Amino acid sequence: MARIMSGVQPTGNLHIGNYLGALVNWVRLQDQYEAYFSIVDLHALTGRPEPAALRHAVREVAIGVLASGVDPERATVFVQSHVPQHTELAWVLTCLTPLGDLNRMTQFKDKSQHQPDNINTGLFTYPVLQTADIVLYRADRVPVGEDQEQHLELARETVRRFNHVYGETFPEPQVVKSSAPRVMGLDGESKMSKSRNNEIGLFETADETMLKLRGAKTDPARLRKTDKGTPEVCNIYSYHGFFTGEVQRAAIATGCRSAQLGCVDCKKLLAQNLEVVKGPIRERAAVLREQPRRLEEILAAGAHRARAEAEKTMVLVRERVGLGAPRS
């Protein structure tokens, strides 16, 4: 069975961008592949979170992953820092990665602008650790959103370089594209992000979501309810594309174009449809929150399985690059 590997950062509350761009795919793919899904807390350190906040976020993101339908019996779900081989392999790969390659990464530029007082080296070498995350499990496929495709290209280059220098060791990981590669934020300007305050949270109640939707941008040319709108340029209508059935969506488009449906009513319909998806996830999350021991056990079992697989890779890597004690 081919392998997939993917991760999510515990940097805040999971949002519908993470859900549509990653988690929906994870749930679908866990039956088709041997799956490794990680809560990548070492990556989150690049934002220098409060220690207690980081631990809380790790639990909440793990709960979100499981409540969304990832099954720890079918997929290996684990916390990155529980598998020390990630950092060991990252160093080996760091020594193979030209500075110029990392200089080209647009996410580094974005994140540097976003946290100008904390442009740390980890932020710069982030894609190398990400490459280690993937190749440690010799994954063939990596389901990610559009924002991660450049990092995946770098991972493939690194694999080619490693295989060229040390002999065929890793498969070249291919991207599995999601059907929602870039969900926009409520600001309508950038992708939905945990750290940009533009998200619809996966655990939000219907009321909380409606409150956020009220202030969200729509068709900028539609200033009054009596103005005719253009659904194709409306950010709210783009969300309907993910959560609303075809018939209702067509009715919304017609109502918007003819000015018979106002933006507030259109947002109410979206909030209702979002709740159909979010409600059951929120309920499953509440049950898991009541069972902290069960969550610990799931993550411990996942880390145990992941470490065993990671160590197999590292035995090979150490031998190939000349590290560790010689075999007798």
Active site residues: 111, 191, 194
Of 194 and 222, the one with the shorter C-beta distance to ligand AQP is 194
Query: Do the beta carbons of residue 272 and residue 206 sit within 8 Å?
Result: yes
Residue of the chain from 4, 5, 22, 317 that contacts ligand AQP (CB under 6 A): 22
Kind and range of the H or E run holding 294: helix 292-321
Three-state secondary-structure class, residue 287: helix
**Does 92 contact ligand AQP by CB under 6 A?**
no
Residue of the chain from 3, 4, 5, 21 that contacts ligand AQP (CB under 6 A): 21
Taking CB under 6 A as the binding criterion, the range among 13-21, 204-212, 220-228, 317-325 that sits at the site for ligand AQP is 13-21
200-235 in b/e burial notation, b at 16+ Cβ within 10 A?
bbbbbebeebbebbeebebbeebeeeeeebebeebb
319 burial type by CB count under 10 A (0-12 exposed, 13-18 middle, 19+ buried): middle
Of 103 and 195, the one with the shorter C-beta distance to ligand AQP is 195
Of 94 and 107, the one with the shorter C-beta distance to ligand AQP is 107
Residue 195 CB, nearest distance to ligand AQP (Å)?
3
Residue of the chain from 17, 127, 231, 302 that contacts ligand AQP (CB under 6 A): 17
Q: What span, in angstroms and rounded, lies between the C-alpha atoms of 78 and 76?
A: 6
**Does 192 contact ligand AQP by CB under 6 A?**
yes
Residue 154 CB, nearest distance to ligand AQP (Å)?
15
Residue 164 CB, nearest distance to ligand AQP (Å)?
28
In this structure, what token pair is assigned to residue 1?
């069975």
Taking CB under 6 A as the binding criterion, the range among 14-22, 70-78, 303-311, 312-320 that sits at the site for ligand AQP is 14-22
Q: What angle in degrees, to the nearest 10, is found between the helix axes of 85-94 and 292-321?
A: 40
In this structure, what token pair is assigned to residue 101?
């390659």
Query: Do the beta carbons of residue 62 and residue 77 sit within 8 Å?
Result: yes
**Does 182 contact ligand AQP by CB under 6 A?**
yes
Of 48 and 304, the one with the shorter C-beta distance to ligand AQP is 48
Q: Where are the beta strands (DSSP E) in the chain?
A: 3-8, 34-39, 75-79, 141-144, 174-177
**Does 183 contact ligand AQP by CB under 6 A?**
yes
Q: Of the candidates 148, 154, 163, 152, which has an alpha carbon nearest to the alpha carbon of residue 101?
A: 154
Site track 244-263 with ligand AQP (rule: CB under 6 A), x = hit:
--------------------
Site track 129-148 with ligand AQP (rule: CB under 6 A), x = hit:
---------------xx-xx
**Does 176 contact ligand AQP by CB under 6 A?**
no
Residue 204 CB, nearest distance to ligand AQP (Å)?
15
Residue 43 CB, nearest distance to ligand AQP (Å)?
7
Q: For 117, list phi and psi in degrees, rounded to 5.
A: -90, 0
Residue of the chain from 3, 4, 5, 11 that contacts ligand AQP (CB under 6 A): 11
Sequence letter at residue 314:
M
Cβ atoms < 10 Å from Cβ of 59: 18
Write the CA distances from 3 to 20, 79, 273, integer angstroms. 21, 18, 34
Of 148 and 317, the one with the shorter C-beta distance to ligand AQP is 148
Residues that bind ligand AQP (CB under 6 A): 7-9, 11, 17-18, 21-22, 144-145, 147-148, 180-183, 191-195
